[in-house]
Amino acid sequence: MSKKLVIKVTAGADAPERCSQAFTVAAVAVASGVEVSLWLTGESAWFALPGKAAEFELPHSAPLPDLIESIGSSGQITLCTQCAVRRDIGEGDVLEGVRIAGAQVFVSEIMADGVQALVY
């Protein structure tokens, strides 16, 4: 597969099923060899911080820290710039490998040839 998958997750603990679905799809895609870029926006921005994913619970779903580790192993995880600023999250605060970038980078990623974008 040569396509890239860009996933924007807007939900966090406020909508746990939607949130979990985004991370699950991203992790399955990475495991399948798909190039994945996962964007953390809105309430999912908190999961860019160490330890926050461990606080997330949803029965019958994979543990969020495991999904994040899987995605980060071969994919790119990005925290939205505005979402980070609104939550007073800086570059030194985030998990190793998480970048902070804005809408310009997101638009650039989703407009490239061979890209499928999903928003949760």
Distance, CA of 7 to CA of 21 (rounded, Å): 11
| pLDDT at position 2 over 90 | no
Amino acid in position 107:
V
Owner of token pair 């970038």: 101
Which residues have C-beta within 8 Å of that of residue 18, sequence separation ≥ 6? 9, 11, 120
Confidence category of residue 95, pLDDT binned at 50, 70, 90: very high
Which of these, 43, 24, 41, lies nearest to 32 by C-alpha position?
Answer: 24
Q: What is the CA radius of gyration of the chain?
A: 13
What pLDDT does 21 receive? 98
Confidence category of residue 107, pLDDT binned at 50, 70, 90: very high
